Structure 1
Amino acid sequence: MASNSSLFSLEQVLNVIGVLTVLWLSLKIVLVIGQVFRVHVLSEKWKGVDVASYGPWAVVTGATAGIGKAYAHELARRGLNVVLISRSMEKLKQVAAEIEEQHSQSTKVIQADFTQGSELYETIRANLQGLEIGILVNNVGQTKNRPGYFLDDDNLDKYIDDMVNCNTLSITKVFDDFFSQALGIEYRSKGIIVQSVMPLFVESNLSTHVKRFWKISAKTFARQALNSVGLTSRTPGCFSHYVQVQAGCGGIFSSFRKLQSASSAPASPPSHAKSSRFPPDGHVKEWGC
């Protein structure tokens, strides 16, 4: 009798543990779905913050095309004046004229080529003096015309410098992500919001090689991304990209890539890399940060 009673008690304990585990997992799923719904759906009506309340001016880098241009227009639509920073004065004047005509907001243009290094920041700082700036969209970036090996570049020295100065290549974007998260934690108590936006493919000059099915318009992306400010500190920017990340890049595609990588022989490094920073045999013997 004592043995049967002991087994019965053990079965009850395990049943309770099982029920609590199911309830805990169900609660986590509900909370995740609720957060996603709040960030990407309800934010169309109830936005995270009023971006115009942080100051009358916004600064957007890489503001003459793609995501940057869309952000500039969306910020102006929400009542902010916009400082446009890019390397083409002709395109800057064109976008500025569009914003002033369509949204009746003031603009200021600053011509800057971010591949030139840190020297240009003094010029930018001087041009921003006297403006009450509440929003910064650090969007400037560039990419290669086609995917390729890191060392397989005709001017690798310049490419490495551009990678650091102008957000080129995935590894610098990963740094931006962690840096943004760290800044957000450090300055949260001061009322400063830092959001890391990590989009997939958006219609722009940098994604002409991607099929339209996988892309979202820059205008829609900017609207949805700005809606989420104050609701999440790290986001793919829009609901479409969130679904792609969860269903594809973070799941099935990721598993496929790992399987493919495990079954493939390692690729030989390019033998004609032209850089004084790497040995002539093409092998990277030291790379630190």
Structure 2
Amino acid sequence: MAAVDSFQFLYREISRSCGSYFETLALVGALYTASRAVILLSDCCTLVRVHFLPRMVPSRKLTQRYGDWAVIYGASEPVASAYAEELARHGISIIFVTQDNTSVRDTAASLSQIYGVETSVVIADFSQVQAASKPIKEALRGKDIGFLVNCVDGTLASPQSLIEMPEQCLLDQVNKNVTVATLMTRLVLPGMVERSRGAVVNISSSACCRPLRGRVALTAFTGYLDNFSRALHLEYSDKGIFIQSLIPFQIASSGRQPSSSSLSPREGWFVPKPEVYARHAISTLGISNRTTGYWPHTLQYGMVRCIPEWIWILGSRMCFSAA
């Protein structure tokens, strides 16, 4: 009995001495919970502001806000082709810049016939930068260029180790996804700055958010495009130029124009058709300079952001080993 009384007495003494610590820990926990709640509320407000309000509130025509012409680089990718079609649906004339005119010419003719806009295709050999710049400058001369859309090469989505990539293939990918995107921006920006309006949209991938095993090149190139866009926004936003980095998650292949990627994700709520994605993405123009462009993808991005990097890397290794 004495032992029990002694224990109760000891417990009361310890509780009395530690009471202030418990209160402090409770306060810290409450503050942390409140901060997470504020962040969640802020993210929800941003989701509504970026993805829902622009689609409900009428705005000025894209031609009035940015210009009459758009330059599209990477239109062989379904998402870029769909983006071009959505611009054409808004009355924007299109200039396609490509190294391979086979599929792009068909796309250009189709847009011109369906939407009644002007289209042209510029063939440029980007292995020789000076020679490639000349026809592009000629095509841009005298036109009110309001949009530039650069799209990362979809073939990079296929898992491949860096040392498995042939050297020439790697150099071609660097040229296509880094050099050309930068050059196209350099060619288009002066006219936009002169007119104090325009939009540059760089479509990369969510791979820029977290490293992906077996996709070193994709992670690197999309990371470049994303940071390139953010730096441009910092430098040119006060000159009336809107720079946007689109970082979509998976997008289904178009039935009309199969993706160059060997991966063909099944269409669904989180894997939209290119046309659906483009419609949502264009509604975010002028609203957010860095976005997934599609609100279910924004939910995915929020979940990915909550995962600690060490857990992400561990899970990536386990999935890669299982595959």
TM-score where L is the length of structure 1? 0.75
Compute the displacement of 1:18 (Å). Answer: 7.0
What secondary structure is seen at the aligned counterpart in 1 of 2:285?
Answer: coil
Pair 1:217-2:227 in alignment: no
How far apart are the structure 1 equivalents of 2:24 and 2:313?
Answer: 40
TM-score where L is the length of structure 2? 0.68
Q: Can you list the C-alpha shifts for 1:148-175, whole angstroms capped at 9, x where unaligned?
A: 211113x31x123212211263212211
User: Which position in structure 1 is the counterpart of 2:41?
Assistant: 30
Paired residue type of 2:278: A
Change in CA separation of 1:113 and 1:140 when aligned onto 2, cut-off 3 Å: farther
Match of 2:73 among 57, 61, 82: 61
Contact 1:177 1:196 in 2 (8 A): yes
What secondary structure is seen at the aligned counterpart in 2 of 1:193?
Answer: strand
Compute the displacement of 1:56 (Å). Answer: 0.8
Compute the displacement of 1:31 (Å). Answer: 1.9
Please show how residues 1-289 of structure 1 align to structure 2 within 5 Å. 23-46=34-57, 50-53=61-64, 54-114=66-126, 116-119=127-130, 120-139=132-151, 141-144=153-156, 146-153=158-165, 155-156=166-167, 158-167=168-177, 169-204=218-253, 205-213=259-267, 215-247=271-303, 249-251=304-306, 256-260=311-315
Contact 1:47 1:227 in 2 (8 A): no
Choose between structure 1 and 2: higher helix proportion. 2
How far apart are the structure 2 equivalents of 1:75 and 1:30?
Answer: 33
Contact 1:59 1:136 in 2 (8 A): yes
Change in CA separation of 1:152 and 1:219 when aligned onto 2, cut-off 3 Å: same
Contact 1:57 1:133 in 2 (8 A): yes
Q: Kindly, what percent of the aligned residue pairs are identical?
A: 29
Contact 2:252 2:274 in 1 (8 A): yes
Contact 1:83 1:107 in 2 (8 A): yes
Q: Can you list the C-alpha shifts for 1:180-201, whole angstroms capped at 9, x where unaligned?
A: 1011011111111100111122
Compute the displacement of 1:209 (Å). Answer: 1.9
How far apart are the structure 1 equivalents of 2:51 and 2:71?
Answer: 24
Paired residue type of 1:195: Q
The number of equivalent residue pairs is 255
How far apart are the structure 2 equivalents of 1:227 and 1:42?
Answer: 9
What secondary structure is seen at the aligned counterpart in 2 of 1:138?
Answer: strand
What secondary structure is seen at the aligned counterpart in 1 of 2:243?
Answer: coil
How far apart are the structure 2 equivalents of 1:148 and 1:12?
Answer: 54
